[in-house]
């Protein structure tokens, strides 16, 4: 039987042991995918092919409303791995290491290492070049070909529909003639499979982190995954326009996509190119899914599944033409919301969905509690273990994200609060939060795509005042109802 009984799990949690009935500590398989939005079969997408993630979801709790703390790689990953929000880690960019502000903080894998676990990091866990040796039992390995490289014969990118720039990183998307399990993701899966075989023979429990690079740009994947989709079946975003009434700086204009040389030199991508780009994203997701599936199959084959907590998360969302924008770099729902799937021994024997508002800073305390480890005092999230037992219970009143922006000579931070019904964002001065430059309010009951900013609507001013008070309470309001009692 793959899963322990719920009674055994609850007993372990109640006693604080976090161990199997035979006394073994649970292992942890920590899976992360770069730029993965919750557009998967288990999240209701009927087009994308993600059978292996869906298989994991079939024995997991799928969190339908999980939010990152900042929608860009390093700040988001840092918040997950430290359990602290960006204003605590002081990581708002891709170059700052969290140990500059928090030299003694104990990271998630480091916490497990200090409690007897072998901790192994493969692939992209922290942002590239900003890894943390204290987190791992051995130096981390960023395995696999760089994201911009692939082996095998090259297929030329389709002709661009209008002028493009010279130079740049190469094509934004391409189908290669490589075998299905080759390339960077295939090499990473090979490393993870080999690691599982070694760890099975070890006397210590393990924390194995595997960081897949896809579906991050460029969307270079073996042709087999492109062939899973027919372009005509791939829909374009049905809101390819900026939110009405939103400040111009709320969404980034040009971003990393335009560093690739074949991208049309236009602010609005033509439909034909946009569909090819989305095709590439879908193929990259399926490529990553296949390699992740190989790792999960090895976990099953070795018999490790029965005593291994598996968590899969995407570091943030990604716009695919929504609001006439691409990539991440904002506070909108498409960027801040990301997948979070947790399979804990005994917690679910079938797929269950949780609609509670949860945050990525909750991952650290969740895994620590499931393993029976003490919770460090610096953590700013809440363990999700109660939701694994009962996904329908009342939970946090709000989730918080943020994004920095410079515009019109102003250094701003957009602090965004997602409540059950609303997204409320205030753009304030980085150094003086009493200076408010813009406010956004979106009603997800009537406007789930966040197409109309209601903040200046006279009929919504009492609501703006109410949400402002909740916003001013800050992340204290992000605690679960149980934690506030």
Residues identified as active-site? 73, 127
Q: What is the dihedral of CA 479, 482, 483, 485, to 10 degrees?
A: 120
> Distance between CA atoms of 134 and 110, rounded to whole angstroms?
6
Reduce the secondary structure of 21-45 to three states and give it as a string.
Answer: CCCCCCEEEEEEECCCCCCCHHHCC
- Which pair of structure tokens corresponds to residue 95? 């170059």
Neighbours of 232 (CB within 10 A): 7
Q: What are the C-alpha distances in Å from 31 to residues 34, 185, 212, 295? A: 10, 13, 8, 10
Positive or negative, the CA dihedral 88, 100, 339, 337 is positive
For residue 273, what is the enclosing H or E element?
Answer: helix 271-301
Identify the CA nearest to 28 among candidates 230, 307, 397.
Answer: 307
Strands 422-429 and 436-443: antiparallel
With tokens 């090259």, the residue in question is 154
Q: For helices 271-301 and 183-200, what crossing angle results, to 10°?
A: 20
Task: Show the beta-strand stretches assigned E in 408-485.
Answer: 410-419, 422-429, 436-443
């Amino acid at each position: 039987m793959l899963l322990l009984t719920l009674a055994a799990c609850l007993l372990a949690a109640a006693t604080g042991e976090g161990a199997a009935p035979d006394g073994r500590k649970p292992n942890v398989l920590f899976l992360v995918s770069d730029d993965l939005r919750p557009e998967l079969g288990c999240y209701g997408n009927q087009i994308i092919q993600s059978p292996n993630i869906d298989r994991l979801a079939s024995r997991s709790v799928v969190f339908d409303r999980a939010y990152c703390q900042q929608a860009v790689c390093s700040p988001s990953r840092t918040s997950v791995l430290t359990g602290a929000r960006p204003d605590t880690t002081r990581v708002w960019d891709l170059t700052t290491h969290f140990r500059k502000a928090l030299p003694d903080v104990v990271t998630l894998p480091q916490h497990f290492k200090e409690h007897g676990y072998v901790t192994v990091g493969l692939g992209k866990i922290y942002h590239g070049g900003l890894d943390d040796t204290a987190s791992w039992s051995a130096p981390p390995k960023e395995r696999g070909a760089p994201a911009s490289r692939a082996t095998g014969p090259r297929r030329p990118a389709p002709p661009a529909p209008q002028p493009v720039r010279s130079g740049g990183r190469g094509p934004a998307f391409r189908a290669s003639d490589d075998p299905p399990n080759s390339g960077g993701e295939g090499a990473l899966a090979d490393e993870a499979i080999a690691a599982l075989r070694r760890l099975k023979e070890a006397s210590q429990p393990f924390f194995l982190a595997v960081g897949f690079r896809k579906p991050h740009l460029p969307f270079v994947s073996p042709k087999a995954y492109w062939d899973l989709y027919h372009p005509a079946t791939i829909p374009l975003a049905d809101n390819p326009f900026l939110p009405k009434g939103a400040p111009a700086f709320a969404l980034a204009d040009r971003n990393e996509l335009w560093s690739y040389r074949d991208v049309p030199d236009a602010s609005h991508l033509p439909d034909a190119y946009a569909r090819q780009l989305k095709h590439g994203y879908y193929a990259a997701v399926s490529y990553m899914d296949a390699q992740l599936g190989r790792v999960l199959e090895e976990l099953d084959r070795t018999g490790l599944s029965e005593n291994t907590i598996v968590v899969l998360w995407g570091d943030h969302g990604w716009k695919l033409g929504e609001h006439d924008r691409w990539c991440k770099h904002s506070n909108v729902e498409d960027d801040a919301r990301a997948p979070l799937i947790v399979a804990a021994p005994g917690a679910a024997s079938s797929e269950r969905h949780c609609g509670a508002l949860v945050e990525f800073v909750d991952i650290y305390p969740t895994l620590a509690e499931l393993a029976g480890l003490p919770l460090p005092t610096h953590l700013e999230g809440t363990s999700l273990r109660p939701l694994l037992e009962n996904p329908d219970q009342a939970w946090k009143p709000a989730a918080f994200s943020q994004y920095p922006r410079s515009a019109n000579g102003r250094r701003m931070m957009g602090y965004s609060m997602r409540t059950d019904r609303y997204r409320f964002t205030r753009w304030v001065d980085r150094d003086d939060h009493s200076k408010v430059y813009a406010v956004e309010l979106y009603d997800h009951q009537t406007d789930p795509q966040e197409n109309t900013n209601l903040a200046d609507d006279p009929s919504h001013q009492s609501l703006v005042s109410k949400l402002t008070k909740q916003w001013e309470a800050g992340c204290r309001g992000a605690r679960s109802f149980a934690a506030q009692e």
